[in-house]
Amino acid sequence: MKKNKTRKEWVKNLLIVFLAVMLVLTFCSNTIMNMYLPEVQTEAVRSGKIQDSIRGSGVAELNQAYQIKLPSVRTVKTVLVKEGQEVKVGDVLFQLDKGDEAELDAAKSTYLEYQTEYQKKLIGKDYNYDKEELAIESARLDYKKAVKALNTAVKNKKQAKKKTKELNSVNNKVAELEKSSASYEQKIAGVGDVDEKSAYDDLESKKRTLTVLKNELSDIDNDIAALKEAGAPQSDITEKERARRDKAAEVNNMQADVDSASEAVNAAAANADKVKVYTDKKAKIDAQLETYRASQAKLSAELEALNASMSKEEAQAQVTEKELAWNNLIADYEIKKSEDSYNKQTDDIDLKAAKDKLDEQKKLVDELTDTIGKSEITAQMAGVVTGISCMPGDSTQPDTPLAVISADDGCFTLKVSVTKEQAVKVKPGQSASLTNYWGSDGSAVLRSIEPDTEDPANRILCLEVKGEDIAEGDTISVSIGGESKEYDAIVSKNSIYEDNNGKFVLVITNKNTPLGTRYIAARRDVEVLAEDDMRAAISMETYGNDYVITASSKVVEPGKQVKLKE
């Protein structure tokens, strides 16, 4: 007994040691796993403002030659500078005769034409599908009615089959009852005389006659006895006895008639009972027969109505026809929408082209309005006049330089290619920021916007940049223009990733386990709405108190566990 107790304690101690070791290993494995998890930095998704600026970069070029051009034809009245002369910003270089407004009028006329063309395209086609959708809905209801009619036809067919079976059963019952009624009618007709009163009267009459005859026979017996007592002659007695025999025969005959009449009364009573029984049974049968005939008439009418309704085959044909009509309308509707979608895309392209053409013409009108009203041309930058290509009385040509000024102030020219849409957001004279220059004296000013000869869809922003640490050939990034807007979700730009499926961020999700909280990286697809140098405004399916991963010690895959940097 003591040995068994020792063994149980040994097993118990071994089990405790095993569980303790497993617990230690579990915590150690969790700690070891955490050592190899990617360590990530996060930041909260916040709302705020972002200035959607136009950003770009270019190579710094020595600003050795600034060309003075006019966009319209003007006559030079006076040349106030000569080659080699130093000029400052604002110095008058040329005086012009009053401009010819014919070119401006022509440009305005063209602008009005472009504006009318753009407005017509802006109205566009009204892609409305109310008529088609109403027709489809009507066809759907027709199909639904046809299906309902088919269900009714199937139900009617089953009902007709059931009613036919019921009617046959009722017909058989009616025939059976009619046969029984006729049988009892024959039985009633086959019963004998049932006139109990006549039979009873005949019996009473015969009984009275029998009584009279018996009285007469008694009188003859009395007469015979009197003759014998008086000693009358034998001949008289014999004659009376002969009379008695005749009277006795009449009594016997009348007794037989009474018995026969009594039997006739009994027979008439028995026949009357039979007739009553037969009549009662026939009445019950006739009552049932009337009920079944009423049911027979009702079932016949119902069956006739069911047989006169639409057949299952006719109803099925209606369903097929209505379904085909419905599907054809849907197919035509989808084809029309597809064609309209293509036409709308084409219209949008044409509308954009008309808008670009209108904007270009508006810019030309503005430039002509600005220059035709000018009587003087001033220097836009300080430098030395290195070339003059016109004399008093000469007519200027668009985009032909009147003079060239070389800068002597250490300025550089930066050319940045942007889209037409971006170019219309800025104007010459606007200041720009140098985004990759960390000196305190850096500055940039937009001087002109020129066509991009390599890509007609783009424009070239020509900026004048300054800075002690800027050298020729440096790549300079700039940010210009734009307006500040409020956005619901703003994150660091380095938290946005991109693959073949588009742009996305990795957000931290929590998962509670017995060993503590685990952090999982989850992918959220996003659309970048605006951005500046450091931040981006995004749109994603859901966001609340989300934290996005901004940096990690290893590559983080969506759905994998990570650890937060302390």
Over residues 353-407, the pLDDT tens digits come to 878 888 887 877 776 666 666 677 788 777 788 788 888 877 777 667 878 877 6
Say if residue 439's pLDDT is above 80: no
Say if residue 47's pLDDT is above 80: yes
pLDDT > 90 in the chain, percent:
5
Assign domain 37-50+486-564 to a CATH class.
mainly beta
pLDDT band at 27 (very low <50, low <70, confident <90, very high): low
Q: What does the pLDDT read at residue 53?
A: 75
**CA–CA gap between residue 522 and residue 509 (Å, rounded):** 7
Q: What does the pLDDT read at residue 462?
A: 86
pLDDT > 70 in the chain, percent:
87
Amino acid present at 72: S
Average pLDDT for the chain = 81
Say if residue 408's pLDDT is above 60: no
From residue 399, give the alpha-carbon distance in Å to each of 70, 189, 405, 429, 451: 6, 137, 16, 19, 12
From residue 526, give the alpha-carbon distance in Å to each of 45, 49, 425, 452, 538: 13, 18, 26, 32, 6
CB 449 within 8 A of CB 478: no
Q: Supply angle C-alpha 445, 451, 457, rounded to 5.
A: 115
pLDDT band at 64 (very low <50, low <70, confident <90, very high): low
**CA–CA gap between residue 554 and residue 39 (Å, rounded):** 7
Say if residue 482's pLDDT is above 80: no
Question: In the predicted model, what is the mean pLDDT of residues 141-147?
Answer: 89
Question: In the predicted model, what is the mean pLDDT of residues 515-541?
Answer: 81
pLDDT band at 515 (very low <50, low <70, confident <90, very high): low
Consecutive H or E run containing 209: helix 196-230
**CA–CA gap between residue 353 and residue 458 (Å, rounded):** 13
Render pLDDT for 418-432 as a digit per residue (tens, 0 to 9). Answer: 888 777 777 888 888
Domain residue extents for the chain: 1-35, 37-50+486-564, 53-99+375-482, 161-311
Q: What does the pLDDT read at residue 267?
A: 78
pLDDT band at 554 (very low <50, low <70, confident <90, very high): confident
Q: What does the pLDDT read at residue 493?
A: 84
Q: What does the pLDDT read at residue 91?
A: 86
Q: Which residues contact 555 (CB under 8 A, 6 or more apart)?
A: 38
- At residue 442, φ and ψ (nearest 5 deg) are -75, 140
Q: Which residues contact 565 (CB under 8 A, 6 or more apart)?
A: 39, 40, 41
Assign domain 53-99+375-482 to a CATH class.
mainly beta
462 against 72, higher pLDDT = 462
Render pLDDT for 78-119 as a digit per residue (tens, 0 to 9). Answer: 888 888 888 888 888 888 777 656 666 777 788 888 888 878
Q: What does the pLDDT read at residue 337?
A: 79
Q: What does the pLDDT read at residue 85?
A: 86
Say if residue 224's pLDDT is above 70: yes
120 against 543, higher pLDDT = 120
Q: What does the pLDDT read at residue 138?
A: 92
Say if residue 192's pLDDT is above 80: no
Per CATH, which fold does 161-311 belong to? Helix Hairpins (1.10.287)
Q: What does the pLDDT read at residue 349?
A: 79
Render pLDDT for 148-191 as a digit per residue (tens, 0 to 9). Answer: 888 988 888 888 888 899 889 989 988 988 898 888 888 877 77
CB 494 within 8 A of CB 551: yes
Amino acid present at 521: A
Say if residue 274's pLDDT is above 60: yes
Say if residue 29's pLDDT is above 80: no
**CA–CA gap between residue 465 and residue 436 (Å, rounded):** 13
Say if residue 221's pLDDT is above 80: yes
**Based on the number of CB atoms within 10 Å of its own CB, is 177 exposed (0-12), middle (13-18) or buried (19 or more)?**
buried
Torsion of CA 430, 435, 437, 441, to 10 degrees: 30
3-state helix, strand, coil in the chain (%, to 5): 50, 25, 25
Question: In the predicted model, what is the mean pLDDT of residues 40-51?
Answer: 84
Question: In the predicted model, what is the mean pLDDT of residues 412-417?
Answer: 84
Q: Which residues contact 45 (CB under 8 A, 6 or more apart)?
A: 489, 490, 491, 507, 543, 546, 547, 548
Q: What does the pLDDT read at residue 73?
A: 74
Q: What does the pLDDT read at residue 101?
A: 61
**CA–CA gap between residue 237 and residue 248 (Å, rounded):** 16
**Based on the number of CB atoms within 10 Å of its own CB, is 89 exposed (0-12), middle (13-18) or buried (19 or more)?**
exposed
